[in-house]
Structure 1
Amino acid sequence: MSFDRIRLDRPTAGLQRMAARFGGHAFDPHRHETYGIGLTLSGVQQFHYRGSLHASHARQVLVLHPDELHDGHAGEGGTFAYRMLYLDPATVSQALDTRPPFVAEVVTNDWAMADIVDEAFLDFPEPLEPLAADATVGRMAELLARRSDGTRRKPVGALALRAIARARDFLVAEAHRTVRSDELERVSGLDRFMLARHFRLAFGTSPHRFQVGCRLRHAQAMIADGATLSETATTTGFADQSHLTRHFAARFGVTPGRWAMLSRGQQASPTGRRSRPGTGR
């Protein structure tokens, strides 16, 4: 049995870091509301993404976009290790003063991107200082823009950006409960449909998925710190443990129980994963 392991820090200034190693199956299909910039350290990292199977070898960089379904597993029957930077699309948009860029090339030999990932992990898992996080996001955002498809992306207007920022802050503050559309309308001053359009343009996801993501990141941290699943579900606003498990697996590609073993450095039992033939990360 392979020794699978994940280490994840807390988000800082729109950036979160993860280091992991896996043998065989790693993650079932899932989505993030962030960009995922990965650097493969060893082995072959395979994943289904945007209708194709991709492979990233040692020192190659992979780029995953917000809200895009993907999975993950080791290629060629071996093991692989990698590092990930998760970038908040709103912070990327702010750094570029335009809508978040789209990079068509999924796996690349971009040494500049690889260097940024390496530098961000120099003191990992020690917390990244806010100024260092800002610099990392800014530099990576510039490289994403340079590698983008070249489509001119109209920035979200200043008034709309302030309005959806108020909505986002409200969703973060009220992540423990269900927020209604009329509440966001009052907070933002926009009708629910205009808010949804601007929110997706700026943040790469819907208000609902954003709030669920906030809950799940809190749940992820609680489980890694040793909280029970029932306690975690209650604290983070899910109806019960099964409700948490469904959303957690869809968001992270692993069940809460498997996440607990991975994040605490325990060997993961094959029964702790929802593996399916022909799927991975």
Structure 2
Amino acid sequence: MTPKTRRPDGADWIERAPSSGGIERIEAFFHDAAYGLHRHDTYAIGRTLAGVQSFHYRRGMCNSVPGMTMVLHPDEAHDGQAGTDEGFRYRMVYVEPALFQQVLGGKPLPFIEGGLSDDPRLFSATEGLLQAIDRALDPLEQEDAIYDLAMALDAASGATQTIRIADYRAAEQARRYLHESLAQAVTLDELATASGKDKWSLSRDFRALFGTSPHRYLTMRRLDLVRRLASEGRSLADASAAAGFADQSHMTRHFTKTWGVPPSRWLKMVSQANTAGHASGTVLRR
């Protein structure tokens, strides 16, 4: 994540992403007192990005620092204030319990004791929903992130895990649908319709059978198409559009996260390798 810097005037601030499908995302900075004691009927899940974020929760005082995950259970009273004179900056996502319950299928809502966790599974699972709030989440990306977070919460809470048999036929139909939909937005509901499976069971089975989420799988196939088109001489902007990315910067972000180098540098290295290969009479493969 790339948090915003503190404003020159040092004023407190809150920025909100547009509400989307049962979630709300914010990023904020506060010098001292942020919120009085209150409660709401959603989960509040987030990270402190800088400073110390202190809050009363279930008859105790919690101090959140970077590297930890805050998980405030629905309808639990809490407040918020800076733990040091430097203030604190944080990101938070508010998730309706019904969204998690669609994934959990009737299991008790996960409860994280004390409101703070250092569980690495939970920290990793929050990444999808706690991205920079100046970018809207793709529908399939958001549904993948909700699934990941629901499962991580369930595991971190110590809930008993059950073994299920994956439905290969449905997952394979969904996979084929993704290949046919590279240039358009795809939702988990569409995949469910194409496969004849309810969407959360399909999401679970797809991961079990193909080793990644539907959104990640679609993103990788789009990146494969970008690499092919760019290697054939198409501009990165044209290749991004043809592969279904919102714009070139959107593609670049995913490309760099996947392969560790930006696409322009990758393309230059491939070009140099091919030139060297032809010069020596040998074609170097990517």
Distance 1:62 1:121, change over 3 A: closer
- 3-state DSSP class of the match of 2:11? coil
Asked if structure 2 preserves the Cα contact closer than 8 Å seen for 1:92 and 1:137, the reply is yes
Asked if structure 1 preserves the Cα contact closer than 8 Å seen for 2:57 and 2:114, the reply is no
Map 1:14-163; keep pairs closer than 5 Å: 14-98=22-106, 99-150=108-159
Quote the Cα distance in structure 1 between the aligned partners of 2:141 and 2:13: 26
Quote the Cα distance in structure 2 between the aligned partners of 1:121 and 1:92: 16
Quote the Cα distance in structure 2 between the aligned partners of 1:112 and 1:85: 17
Residue 278 of structure 1: aligned partner: none
Question: Within the alignment, does 1:10 sit opposite 2:15 as a pair?
Answer: no
Residue 176 of structure 2: aligned partner: none
State the Cα distance separating 1:11 from its structure 2 match. 2.5
Q: Structure 2 length as normaliser, TM-score?
A: 0.49
Quote the Cα distance in structure 2 between the aligned partners of 1:123 and 1:81: 13
Where relative contact order (Cα < 8 A, 6+ residues apart) is larger, the structure is 1
Asked if structure 2 preserves the Cα contact closer than 8 Å seen for 1:90 and 1:100, the reply is no
Residue 230 of structure 2: aligned partner: none
Quote the Cα distance in structure 2 between the aligned partners of 1:41 and 1:30: 22
Distance 1:32 1:151, change over 3 A: farther
Q: Structure 1 length as normaliser, TM-score?
A: 0.50
Number of residue pairs aligned between Structure 1 and Structure 2:
152
Asked if structure 2 preserves the Cα contact closer than 8 Å seen for 1:101 and 1:148, the reply is yes
Residue 230 of structure 1: aligned partner: none
Distance 1:119 1:90, change over 3 A: closer
Letter in 2 for 1:36: A
Identical positions, percent: 36
- 3-state DSSP class of the match of 2:152? helix
Task: From the CA coordinates, give the structure whose radius of gyration is larger.
Answer: 2
Quote the Cα distance in structure 1 between the aligned partners of 2:89 and 2:156: 25
- 3-state DSSP class of the match of 2:84? helix
Unaligned runs of 5+ residues in structure 2 are 1-8, 162-286
Quote the Cα distance in structure 1 between the aligned partners of 2:40 and 2:49: 22
Letter in 2 for 1:69: A
State the Cα distance separating 1:45 from its structure 2 match. 0.5
Give the alignment's Cα RMSD to 1 decimal: 2.0
Runs of 4+ displaced beyond 2 Å: 110-124, 149-152
Letter in 2 for 1:106: G
Residue 191 of structure 2: aligned partner: none
- 3-state DSSP class of the match of 2:148? helix
Quote the Cα distance in structure 1 between the aligned partners of 2:88 and 2:54: 9
State the Cα distance separating 1:15 from its structure 2 match. 2.0
